[in-house]
């Protein structure tokens, strides 16, 4: 069953977030089962919002990929994970998402410049 997950990561900086993404290579080799990844900053860190095929795929990704990468980089933060069944999704401008993601402040085009 398709799920939406939220990871609230206290104290995570934009630089650390970028290092983790670069380490696991999700933009070049996305994990099987993921549909969407959003990363807005919150008052003390980042909130990661993702849509997955199922909770098992998400849990496998966290256990086998994300958490080990953060540990290897010595980035240890409190993470609160919430998973809910997806009720609805509406993406009227889907053709524009690739450019939006690439040009976002933390997107691949801007990380490559820093």
Q: Quick check: is 38 in a domain? A: yes
- pLDDT at position 92, please? 76
pTM of the model: 0.83
What is the domain extent for residue 22? 3-89
Q: Quick check: is 113 in a domain? A: no
Q: Quick check: is 97 in a domain? A: no
**SS3 of 113, please?**
helix
Per-residue confidence at 100, pLDDT binned at 50, 70, 90? confident
Q: Quick check: is 39 in a domain? A: yes
Q: How many domains does the chain have?
A: 1
Q: Quick check: is 74 in a domain? A: yes
Q: Quick check: is 108 in a domain? A: no
Q: Quick check: is 17 in a domain? A: yes
Q: Which residue has the tokens 């290092």?
A: 19
**Backbone phi, then psi, for 79, in 5-degree steps?**
-125, 125
Q: How do residues 51-79 score in pLDDT, each as one tens digit?
A: 999 999 999 999 999 999 999 999 999 99
CA distance 45 to 10: 5
For the chain, give percent helix, strand, coil, nearest 5. 40, 25, 35
Say yes or no to pLDDT of 45 above 70: yes
CATH code (residue 20): 3.30.70.100
């Amino acid at each position: 069953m398709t799920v939406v997950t939220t990871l609230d990561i206290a104290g995570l900086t934009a630089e650390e977030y970028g290092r983790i993404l670069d380490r696991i290579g999700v933009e070049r080799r996305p994990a099987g089962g993921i549909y969407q990844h959003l990363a807005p900053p919150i008052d003390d860190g980042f909130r990661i919002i993702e849509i997955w095929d199922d909770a098992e795929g998400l849990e496998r990704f966290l256990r086998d990929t994300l958490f080990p990468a953060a540990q290897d980089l010595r980035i240890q933060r409190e993470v609160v994970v919430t998973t809910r069944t997806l009720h609805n999704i509406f993406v009227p401008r889907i053709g524009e998402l690739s450019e939006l993601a690439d040009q976002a402040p933390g997107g691949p085009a801007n990380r490559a410049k820093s």
